Amino acid sequence: MGTKLTKTLTYDATAEQVAAMLDDVAFREEVLARQKVARGSASIDGDHVTIEQVRSSDGLPSFAQKFVGDEIVIVQKETWTSPTSADVHLAIPGKPGEAAGTLTLTESGGTTSEVVQLDVSVRIPLVGGKVEGLIKDMVGAALDVEHQVGVEWLARG
C-alpha cells in the first residue's frame, strides 16, 4: 500500500530557470550541505541525476534505529523524461524500504511550482507503516531545505 507524500515547492522563476537549477551539481551539493548530511554526493549525467546521502540515525525512535542502524543511506535517482518532468526513485540500500514517484515543474505567470509526489513503502511486518511515516517526514523536511536553498539560489541569479 505505502504512504503518500505530495510536496509543492513554489519559485519566483520560470520553469526553464528551475530546471537549470535542478540540473546543476553545485546546487545539489549546496542542498546536501544545508541538509547537514554526514556524507553526500551528487552527479548528473545527461537526463540522470544521482544523489547519495548518509544521515545519522540519532533522534530516530529505537524501533527505527534497529531497522537502519547507526546511519541511514539514501540513494535518490531522477530520470528526466522531459524538460519539466522526472521519474524519482529513493532507495535505502540493503533495507526493505523505498519511495517512487514523479517530479513535475509547472509554470504560470513567471512562477514555477515543483510538485514531488512519492509513494513510500517499507516491507517490515508490524512497524512498516511507522517507518514509512518517518521516511515521509524526513523526505518532506529535506524538500523544505531544498526549497529554501532554491529560493536563495535563484535570487542570486
Q: CA–CA distance from 71 to each of 38, 51, 94, 120, 144 (Å)? A: 9, 16, 12, 19, 21
Split into its structural domains, the chain has a count of: 1
Residue 105: CATH number of its domain: 3.30.530.20
Residue 20 is part of which domain span?
3-156
Helix (H/G/I), strand (E/B), else coil: 126: coil
Beta bridge partners of 126: none
User: CB count, 10 Å around CB of 119?
Assistant: 15
Question: Is this prediction's pTM over 0.85?
Answer: yes
| pLDDT tens, residue by residue, 12-36 | 999 999 999 999 999 999 999 999 8
Note down pLDDT in tens along the chain; length 157 residues. 689 999 999 999 999 999 999 999 999 999 999 998 999 999 999 999 999 999 888 887 887 787 778 888 999 999 999 999 999 999 999 888 899 999 999 999 989 999 999 999 988 888 888 888 888 998 999 999 999 999 999 999 7
d(CA 70, CA 10): 34
